Structure 1
Amino acid sequence: MPRTSLAIALAACSFQLPTSDATTVSIQLTPTGDFKPWDGRELKPGRWHIDQAVASAVIARFAARKNPRVLDYEHQTLLKEKNGQPAPAGGWITGLEWREGQGLFGTVELTARARKAINDGEYKFVSPVFSYDQATGDVLDVRMAALTNEPGIDGMEPLALQAAATALFSDDEEPPMNKLLLAVCTALALSATATTEDQAIAALDAHFKADPLADIRKTLGVDAKADATAICTAITARGTAEVDPAKFVPVSVVESLKTDLAALTAKVQGADVDALVSAGLADGRLLKAQEEWARGLGKKDLAALSAYLDTAAPIAALTRTQTDGKQPVVDTANGLTADELAVCSATAVDPKDFAAAKAA
């Protein structure tokens, strides 16, 4: 997304030049923290700002460019198109360095003329030109610097530099985008970088000219120019139209079928539960005390009951009685049951004679 608050500024602070016979010198370009113009010009963010984190981005952006930045005389590079005078270089900024507690420094290769002018006292200060974010005041990029004796130039406000349209500023920095254009592109899902203002205006005009009711009219089968009243009438007519009995089943029939199906399902499942529980009780896979539990499980989950009975081991002792179905002997002396003793009593037959007759 293009940066929307870019501005170019001449620094209003001055940094004294070091005198040296060396060709390469280190020159301070900014202080650390917040700093303001000395000449009272009004800044949108209220102040400029640079710290180690901001400086790291500035240094990285500077290092990404192949060509060094110019150090000229009295910002003539910015004024040459206006006054027609040449803008010779006094040196070249080849690198940047952050010094904690001091600020941003530039490594500068001075020309012989500039080195002599500095050592002779003809120039005392350096004034940097940098871009900055109008919202935060953060320094973004060092553009150039100038040898000067008055670093703050009267009347030179941000975004009013004559050289802003020259090749000097035609780098890979994306131009500011109109905030309204950006909002339109976002709302209409247009490319923010590939859409021109004319294209955005045309798209916005088409958007508001489009008929939002066209699809509704088509669906309802009404005239393409039908107004809101006609559309509402068509919708109401659809809602009260007579239902074709050949295509639709009454809701009452559906509900009745659902009830019958539920009853039939319960009946079939109940029969299956009875069969499983009876079989389990008969062969000893279920205890009598488990019958109620087994029936409840079968009603909820017939498959679970079936799986339980498939794995349960039958208890043989539960499948027969101790007398194998015969009545127990009551008269142990003669081997007669209770029923046989009752017969003897009723017929006045001696139990011994009954037992002997029974044996014969």
Structure 2
Amino acid sequence: MTQLIRNTCAAAPLPASLANRIELIPVGRFKTADARPAFHITDASAVIAASLAAAPGGMLPIDFDHRTFAGQGRADSRAAGWITALAVEGDRIMASVDWTPEGRKALEDRSYRFVSPVFKNRKSGEVVLIEGAGLVNSPALPQLRQLASKDEDMDPILQIAGLLGLSADTPDAIVARVTALATTEAQLASITQAAGVSGADAATQICARLTAKAPDPARFVPMAAFEALQTQMAALQEDMGKSKVDAALEAAREAGKLTPDLEDWACQLASRDLGAFEGWAKVAPVRVNLGDRQLAGKRPPVKTADDGLDALERQVAARMGVSEAAFIAARTALAQEA
């Protein structure tokens, strides 16, 4: 096995009356009371077989404070007990323990109250090997129930905390979880009552009714038809918008306000913001006026040298600082080049 991680997780308190059979680790998915990710045991029998096969003499040590697994720097690695057998019972792996005199005394004196399994897991959280355990005083697996015998009653707070996967030392968290569960139960009861179902499979009955009920054709349409209608509406809106843009541009041309040099700018503005273009067209000056005829998107007739300057041309000539004769000569030359 490669890339394995060693973990220690202190479990619930050992019983007041020392037992030779204890719960060691949960089966399935379980979380510790600290911030570590969840662990899981998928094949408990395989984990037990591998653990006992790897143990020297077929026994797993239970020490004090995990000193056996802390390296050579911890001098005292005496055993508090030896795990002689492992077995699956329900959702737990049980350990048969042969306690040493030191371990028995430490537990009877209440010097130690918790047992902490030591195991190796893959990065995925899957537990693959149990190496032993240790007597500690910091719980991290509150869901384990450590019973001295079948007849011994357990503290109900510990039972509730174990079922919820919480530590018995966190009463606020226990109350919050129980309150949430009670609220959810009340809501489910209201739903089942309204649906007229009962029994353990009430939720299944409700789901079956919801999935079996055919939709009302008067209120619903197939998704394909709805999407096709959306596409048609989008195309129609685009065509209507383009028609309005073309009409606004044509009106500006006919009014003599839109000349060829402004065509590209006007088309972009009208396509992006028709209202802004129409606002410009209302206040823009008439740039071309040929008597009773206006430009209407076409080039004006070419003037000859005999034609004088119109008002716009005189204004341009004055701003350019040229005489009328020079302006006419330049205009005639450009017309001949064209």
Indicate whether the TM-score tops 0.5.
Answer: no
TM-score (norm 2): 0.38
TM-score (norm 1): 0.36
